[in-house]
Amino acid sequence: MSHVLPDAVVAEFAAAIGAEHVVTSREGRDEYRDPYWHPEDRSYDSSAVLYPSSTEQVQAVVRIANAHGVPLWTSSQGRNNGYGGPSPRVRGSVLVSLRRMNRVLHIDDRLAYAVVEPGVTWIDLHQALLDGGHDDLMVSVPDLGWGSVIGNTLDSGVTYLPLGMDYQAPTGMEVVLADGSLLRTGMGALPGSKAWHLYKRGLGPVLDPLFVQSNFGIVTRMGYWLMRKPEAYAPLYLTVPRDEQLEQAVEITRELRLAGVIRGVPVMQNTITLASHFPDVLGQMQAADAALSEAELQEIADRTGVGRWGQRTAVWGDRAVVEHHVARIKEAWSAIEGSRVDHHRTYGRDDWHEITHFVDKVQAGIPSLDMLEAIPDHIGHIGFSPVVPLTGEHVREVVDLLRGISEREAGVNFVAGLCTISERSTVLVSGLNFDVHDEAAAKRAFATVKRMVREAGRLGYGEYRAHLDFMDEAAEEYSFGDHAYRRFVERVKDAVDPNGILSPGRHGIWPSSRRSR
């Protein structure tokens, strides 16, 4: 694909950021592919990868691309695997990798926040806290620590501590616009602002959310709120023995959230998801010619002890408060017949180094890559994650819908996890696993998930974070008022990026030059 990019443009990029930071070889470009694409699928190949190291270099890259009409596709770390990774929506786009912009610019102990560049990973930020002696601070992290703090935020990724709830931590951005100019959002618009990363609004309209899941600019700096390390931390695992008890578990979870007993982001996963960490069960699922039956799933749930559904959560705070909330959770959960609440230990502030299980680490703000060890390299996944009201009947409706589509269309059981991101809604992170080397299985999985998008949309449930391959289909479901939302964001796109160079097609937002309708 490198022939798509004229040599003269390559030379301009090289002059701006250094020839060693402009990669056009297929081998180099293939490092920026979702590993879950089938190896022969080249639908979303790039023409080059650029590695700028500063905001000024990003500005230079954007100005060159704008002058020549070259489409750019930006990634921070490019670890969004299962959603398309760093691959561009438009084949032949130039990838802009911000991995070299990896500085933690500031950590404030008194006000508990950090300022980071887009190449900073969760592991980097955690290590910076340790190295800088900021022992009293912790960061809300996702399951895998190799991703970018900014990149995860801009894709609406989930983290699990109290500040992980629905966009609580990010505050104040620096953004390179399509003409190469620089914007600072919120209080940052005031030169010399002392409160840029402390107050989420400013004077006039709030712009930060406009750069989440959009293609209106390239974020090169962002504030991120941190959390004081509590006196005590208690990780918990709550089982739901039978599938028909799911609604009851959802109702109890909501009331615990509304009461402030559970403050972080609990995750309730189904048997297939939980038991895949057991090698013998994973082998059983891979060897099956069809979806496992209800009886087989119940046998696995009973044998492994994970339940038909199992919810991980935690309590943080003063020890007396933690003990009280653990007791409240146990009392509430006991209403589910045959359920179990596993609470093996409450950790003190000085016991963090003794936390060993990867889930317990994540809920303690300790990022790791341990989760990668659970699934073989050849097993890929593709996700569909609709937002669902936090009521038993709504969750049941969507679970049954997606389960049925998965079993009928793909002949496999679907993986599912309810990420309860607020007191009133949950994200049903679901999808399919498949062998990435089996082209037929991969195509079947993608077709099945697209069917999920359409059927869930018909019932009033929309995707919150779309895979690259079906961003258009997911956006199509948001059709109120003859697609009033889409028409509005397209007008914004055309105003701030008239040449349509920044990530065209991201989440269904296309510039006028590329709209097919």
Q: Is 7 exposed, middle or buried (0-12, 13-18, 19+ CB in 10 A)?
A: exposed
478-514 in CATH: which number? 1.10.45.10
Q: For the chain, give the percent of residues with pLDDT over 90.
A: 82
- The stretch 214-233 carries a mean pLDDT of 98
Residues 6 or more apart whose CB falls under 8 angstroms from that of 412 comprise: 290, 291, 406, 432, 433, 434
Q: What is the band of 16 on the pLDDT scale with cuts at 50, 70, 90? A: very high
Question: Residue 293: which pLDDT band, with cuts at 50, 70 and 90?
Answer: very high
Dihedral sign (CA 349, 355, 360, 361): positive
The yes-or-no verdict on residue 247 having pLDDT over 70 is yes
Where does the pLDDT of residue 221 fall: very low under 50, low under 70, confident under 90, or very high at 90 and above? Answer: very high
**Contacts (Cβ under 8 Å, ≥6 apart) of 18:** none
pLDDT at 426: 98
Q: Say how far apart CA 95 and CA 88 lie, in whole Å.
A: 7
pLDDT band at 517 (very low <50, low <70, confident <90, very high): low
How do residues 452-482 score in pLDDT, each as one tens digit? 999 999 999 999 999 999 999 999 999 999 9
Query: How far apart, in whole angstroms, are the C-alpha atoms of residue 162 and residue 141?
Result: 11
Is 2-97 a CATH 3.30.43.10 domain?
A: yes
Domain with CATH 3.30.43.10 in the chain: 2-97
pLDDT the model gives residue 162: 94
Q: How confident is the model at residue 1 (pLDDT cuts 50, 70, 90)?
A: very low
Q: Which amino acid is at 382?
A: I
pLDDT recorded at residue 20: 98
Among the listed residues 184, 465, 486, 506, the single catalytic one is 465
pTM of the complete model: 0.95
Which residues belong to CATH 3.30.465.10 in the chain? 104-228
**CA gap 125, 115 in Å, rounded:** 10
Q: Could you give the count of Cα atoms lying within 13 Å of 130 in the half-sphere of its Cβ?
A: 11
Q: Which of 164-178, 280-294, 414-428 has the lowest mean pLDDT?
A: 280-294
C-beta separation of 504 from 214 below 8 A: no
pLDDT at position 279: 67
- The reply to whether 464 belongs to the active site is yes
pLDDT in tens, 81-100: 888 889 999 999 999 999 99
Q: What is the pLDDT of residue 34?
A: 81
Q: Say how far apart CA 287 and CA 128 lie, in whole Å.
A: 44
Q: Which of 83, 113, 160, 224 is catalytic?
A: 83
For 73, how many CA atoms within 13 A lie in the half-sphere containing its CB? 28
* Domain 104-228 bears CATH identifier 3.30.465.10: yes
* Cβ proximity of 257 and 420 under 8 Å: yes
pLDDT per residue over 395-410, tens digit each?
A: 999 999 999 999 999 9
| Residue 472 to residue 275: CA distance in whole angstroms | 33
Q: Is 184 a catalytic residue?
A: no
Mean pLDDT of all residues in 364-388: 87
How far is the C-alpha of 165 from the C-alpha of 47, rounded, in Å? Answer: 38
Question: SS3 of 409, please?
Answer: helix
DSSP state of 333: H
On the question of pLDDT at 2 being above 50, the answer is: no
Judged against a pLDDT cut of 70, whether residue 287 lies above it is answered with no
CA torsion angle for 196, 202, 208, 210 (degrees, to 10)? -160
Q: What is the DSSP string of 246-257?
A: HHHHHHHHHHHH
Is 491 part of the annotated catalytic residue set?
A: no
pLDDT, mean over the chain: 94
E strand or H helix at 280: helix 279-287
pLDDT at 168: 87
Task: For 68-92, give the DSSP string.
Answer: HT--EEEESS---TTTTTT--SSTT
pLDDT at residue 371 tops 50: yes
Q: What would the pLDDT profile of 411-454 be if each residue is shown by its tens digit?
A: 988 899 999 999 999 999 998 888 888 989 899 999 999 999 99
Active-site position among 308, 312, 464, 506: 464
Q: Phi/psi at 7 (nearest 5 deg)?
A: -60, -35
pLDDT of 150: 97
Looking at residue 33, its pLDDT comes to 85
- What average pLDDT score do residues 12-40 get? 90
Cβ-contact 46, 88 below 8 angstroms: yes
Instruction: Residue 96: name the closest of 212, 176, 4 by CA.
Output: 176
Class of residue 353 by CB neighbours under 10 A (exposed 0-12, middle 13-18, buried 19+) = exposed
Q: Which residues contact 373 (CB under 8 A, 6 or more apart)?
A: none
